[in-house]
Amino acid sequence: MYTIRQICEKTGLSAHTLRYYEKEGLLSHISRSKGGIRQYSEEDLESLGLICCLKNTGMPLQEIARFVRLTQEGEHTLRERCELLRRHRANVVARMEEMQRHLDKVTWKLNFFSDKLRAYEAEHPED
């Protein structure tokens, strides 16, 4: 079992974010000690890893919460979960392709200006 502090250290998330995720239903059934202190399991840590992955790849928290609810409902939701992940993956791929086009343009401009700089420095060695 992990304390909230240990989970924060392992995930880079703040305690406030963890409590918010719990409140919003992204993390369910977090156990507590007799004193009321949250105790996170290895399974909770794995769930957080997926939540962070989905969030960091642009899935809105509402969609993540929907995915979590479907998971809790059982295997009869597998088709819906797969479809949700297929759509998300397609969105991620499209954004990556767009970013690659932007990167290509930035790289081209960098090369263009680097060539101009070398030419300028060759003509003006005193600068």
- Closest to 22 measured CA to CA, from 30, 10, 14: 30
Average pLDDT of the residues in 24-33: 88
User: Quick one: pLDDT at residue 82?
Assistant: 98
Query: What's the whole-number average pLDDT of the chain?
Result: 94
Domain at 1-58: CATH code: 1.10.1660.10
Query: What is the per-residue DSSP string for the chain?
Result: -B-HHHHHHHH---HHHHHHHHHTTSS---EE-TT--EEB-HHHHHHHHHHHHHHHTT--HHHHHHHHHHHHH-GGGHHHHHHHHHHHHHHHHHHHHHHHHHHHHHHHHHHHHHHHHHHHHHH-TT-
Q: Is 91 left (phi over 0), alpha (psi -120 to 50) or beta?
A: alpha
Residue spans of the domains in the chain: they are: 1-58, 74-127
Token representation of residue 5: 């502090």
Q: What is the pLDDT of residues 46-103, one digit of tens each?
A: 999 999 999 999 999 999 999 999 999 999 999 999 999 999 999 999 999 999 999 9
- Residue 67 makes CB contacts below 8 A (sequence gap 6+) with 54, 59, 81, 84, 85
pTM: 0.80
